[in-house]
Structure 1
């Protein structure tokens, strides 16, 4: 909840200008950009000559030098723009790791950011250079230093905004990245669903189905023995009853693997508390959920937390663990941590990769912090809205 500002008879003041350290730092960036005019011009020449000479192998070598040099040069300006604008400005280039020379060349040529970098170089040599030079001249000029006092901040923010406009992905690039992400997520979800179906089929075939077959055989033998050996038939019926109990237990286990009844009855917080009680080490659960997430999200987060706690019990050698659940700003957040020896690696086959894939189907993310020596903290976040707690069938008639 926001609070009202104190009453003040004076009229509201305009936003405060950039403080002196901020002006000086921004002017320092401007001076650096003026000095970097020369390497920017050299990069443009390198691109032009390399493009012209692409008919021979020399052009390919020149472009092989120009691409990484331009990206490093652009990253330097991204960092300066991010500090002036006080906002992160990542480098959204297509990954090149593991690609051969020809594949790298095709990827670079198809990457829209390659051509945005070239456009930014031209802007940097023209309008960008003029803005940066103007900031420096206003400072060193005795006559106009007071203009620098008021203009340095806005001019550098304008220059940094131009850098951001060129060095950030446009709407088309963002949509393409989103489509690519959704395509990968869908493929992973299909693979995960197929693996889950195979697991259920295996569990039913090796467990309940085998026991039901044995039950049918026992009952058939008992039916044929009732007339000749009633005592043996009764023993077979008793064995069949035990087989029925075991089969029902295995069926319940399979059902719990699909959607645990405790999750449907008690919600995410109650189900996680039940998980904590089954752990061999003490697990503290802190939950602040004023409603329930959608059932698919609730199930995905539950199984993700269960996998993390299982890893803690198997690999962490921990004495204490904790789970924190909360929801804020449209984001369901679960944190699972322990005081074990650390060193958890999602790529090491500990189940964390599957957790990440399960959450990615809902645009969720997983972050792992596990330095050697501990502690290990896994943060799970899924965007969703909460609904009011639902009345479950076990609660009685509504």
Structure 2
């Protein structure tokens, strides 16, 4: 009894909120349907539908949070795409199974909210009649009033729970998050395998065309020098000098190859030094701000370094930017690196191999990449990677401006 006394006001507030958002749900559903009908006729329909879909997801997030509190479990769902004001983005968003479930929930939530509002109005009418025909303040203790209060006492928490179950069934169906996660990991694993195979082929090609060919020529030159050593010492000396030069070039090519696998700057100066070096190579000025309390593991350093270097290279080559910025910080067990520029914008991972390569590289470490690049700019690429920082390292905070 005491527990119900504590929980009933909260349940009543939640039910009132659900009734209040029922009208919002009806408006959003109607807006989406009208926008879809008008989209082929008028271009304005596309941004209307995209805005309604975004608002629907925001409303669904609120109800997932409230339902999770009611049911005592976290309710989450992963949307596969984000709504956008183009046919391609809209079609991808509509193909998302969760979008269909969201629209069904909008309809059911609007109907359920209307029914609850009608039920509440009936109870209020009954109580009003009791007070109107009662005997002053003691009218609340009459049998009809007590019956109405008992109905409200018992039904409100159950209605709230029923609405929460509806939210869980449609907005966070069992297995949807797990299935989405499994699909993401499967795609990530396949992309990682392809990337590793491509990297191995690149290393093999570089070795075959570069250092291996150089070493083969070196062996032939040394053989000729050995043959000419007694009969023509001067020629032998020239051949040995040529062999020495070939050995130096082979060493340089091997050094460049190793640098492409794990840059020496990372081993010497860690991720902050590597990011600063990448910023110096960018053709446009780069503002750098790094706040990392310790070093991450070497594979994480390498992945973030190459991802940031690729993002900066894209800013210098394609964005027509006059300045760029790089931010790196650690919080909540994740390293976040943000690369932005003031260029022309319009960056789309689906239209360029550079951003897809960054996604594949970080996906191998369960990392994520989000791109915000409206037409006209600015562009910001946010890369997040979960990691545990290595303890034996001194804190490193950097704030500087690098120019290319």
The TM-score with structure 2 as length reference comes to 0.66
Corresponding position: 1:297 with 2:300: yes
* In structure 2, C-alpha distance between the alignment counterparts of 1:77 and 1:280, rounded to whole Å: 42
Structure 1 residues 209-220: aligned runs within 5 Å = 209-220=212-223
Pairing partner for 2:253 from 243, 250, 253 = 250
Instruction: For 2:79 and 2:312, locate their aligned partners in 1 and report how far apart those are by CA, in whole Å.
Output: 36
Alpha-carbon spacing, 1:225–1:351, altered in 2? closer, same or farther (3 Å): same
1:280 Cα deviation from its structure 2 partner: 3.0
Q: Gaps (5+ residues) in structure 2?
A: 1-5, 31-52, 68-74, 82-86, 89-94, 132-139, 141-148, 395-404
**Aligned with 1:346: secondary structure?**
coil
Quote the residue 2:21 is aligned against.
29
Alignment root-mean-square deviation, CA: 4.7
Q: CA deviation at 1:222?
A: 1.4
Taking a change above 3 Å as real, the CA distance of residues 85 and 284 of structure 1, as seen in their structure-2 partners, is: same
Residue 309, structure 1, aligned to residue 324, structure 2: no
Contact 1:31/1:136 (<8 A) preserved: no
**Which gives a bigger RCO, structure 1 or 2 (Cα 8 Å, sep 6+)?**
2
Q: Which residue of 1 aligns with 2:321?
A: 318
Indicate whether 1:134 and 2:137 are aligned.
Answer: no
Aligned pairs for 1:1-398 (under 5 A) are 26-30=18-22, 82-83=61-62, 131-137=116-122, 143=128, 158=161, 160-390=163-393
C-alpha distance in 2 between matches for 1:370 and 1:76: 20
Partner SS for 1:348: coil
Q: 1:156 to 1:304 in 2, by over 3 A?
A: farther
Gaps of 5+ in 1: 1-13, 40-73, 99-106, 392-398
Residues 122-164 of structure 1 show CA distances to partners (whole Å, capped at 9, x for unaligned) of 99799877645434545667639998x9999978854542332
Q: What is the number of equivalent residue pairs in this alignment?
A: 328
TM-superposition CA deviations, 1:155-178 (whole Å, max 9, x none): 885454233211134443333332
Pick closer, same or farther for the CA change 1:125–1:269 going to 2, 3 Å.
closer
Q: Distance in 2 between matches of 1:353 and 1:199?
A: 18
